[in-house]
A and B are shown apart, each in its own frame.
Chain A
Amino acid sequence: MKIEVLGTGCAKCAALENVVKEAVAKSGKFAQIEKVDDMMTIMEYQVVSTPGLVIDGKVVSTGKVLSVDDVVALIND
């Protein structure tokens, strides 16, 4: 599983990245986490409001910092 956090270095983006790390640990699954700050890649995902969350190439959330439990639920989906 590959999880990408999209964002250009704002405070909320860093917050979401930490949430994702915690959620992966909590879910017990093996996942590769990547922080994407290249604007062009973010635009290819059609995300306009950062931070965005992408799981296995699919955008699952934009513009907000999810809670750890929300991310765990998304990972288990």
Chain B
Amino acid sequence: MWYELSKEFIYNTIGLEGKLADASHFFIYDTVKIWFLLLSIIFAVSFLRTWVNTEYVRAHLQGKSALYGHVGASLFGIITPFCSCSAIPLFLGFIQARIPIGVTFSYLISAPMNNEIAIAMLFGLFGFKVTVMYIGFGLLVSILGGYFIGKMGMEKEILMDVKPINAKLEADLVRFSMKERAKEAWDYTYDIFKKIYLYVLIGVGVGAWIHGYIPTDLIARYTGEGNPFAVIIAVIMGIPMYSNAAGVMPLVEVLTSKGMLLGTALSFMMAVTALSLPEALILKKIISLKLIGIFFGIVGSGIIAIGYLFNAIL
């Protein structure tokens, strides 16, 4: 409905024609659609999050089996908020509760990858199926990545002496009235939206320009089947882009519609969210460069493997 309405507005009310009309229609249609979806999905996710906080996750994972730990930590990563600025207390707090280092990494991979902005953007731009694939394969990377890091015996790579607590931590869900939860979710949503709406606008704007002006075969040659290294290049390019997921994803969508393979797009988006340079710099204060290297290496190769696998199947 919104598609026809915005089309009517551009072509008949304003009276634009040709490529310019095409690009402006795409721009208005996409921006408004994504803004709307961002608001509703971030609200829904942050509403659900008012039940669980990181302290609860830690208490819940304490003393659990390795398998339960990896799977549980990865799943909790979806529904808890994550800010790379609290990576240090989180990491040390988990170790303090004697949660294995591999399980801690499962959480550290899953939480930023499944952040609400990425999920909302994916859903808005690529639809339900791709979003589910992204979450599913993201879980796989965080479960296996954490498992491998745990197997490598990296405990000595933690640069800080953590005194473990032996007592059983108590796990309480956050108690709030529905009204308080809704208010908190809305405050959070508004806060996030204020920070990213401009990036979305710019991202969709550049996307609209590509959509209207750059020929399809050019994009297909560099990002499609014509380039066997596309996945690897995409992952490396994704590392410094964490804070701009909202602006980058509209571009990826346009590139995909013009011949970039979906596996390459998925790998790129996973690299944007899971491999973040600021997070690595923060973690460097408490774990060795070697462990950070291993962390990036394992997650990076997992993401690259998924990209190639996807491109081969689809």
A residues at B contact (CB < 8 Å): 8, 10-13, 39, 42-43, 46-50, 62-64, 67
Contact = CB atoms under 8 A, between A and B. Distances in A.
Interface residues of B, number: 23
A8 to B, nearest CB: 6
Q: Is chain B's interface secondary structure helix, strand, loop, or mixed overall? A: helix
A48 B54 contact: yes
Contacts of B160: 39
B158 to A, nearest CB: 12
Contact of B89 (A11, A12, A39, A67): A39
Contacts of A13: 85
A69 to B, nearest CB: 11
* Interface majority SS (helix, strand, loop, mixed), chain A: loop
A62 B85 contact: no
Interface of B: 53-55, 57-58, 81, 83, 85-86, 88-90, 92-94, 96, 160, 162, 165, 169, 184, 187-188
Contacts of B187: 67
A10 B83 contact: yes
Contacts of B94: 48
A52 B199 CA distance: 30
Nearest to A42: B89
8 contacts: A10-B85, A12-B83, A43-B89, A43-B93, A46-B169, A49-B83, A64-B184, A67-B187
Contacts of A67: 187
A50 B169 contact: no
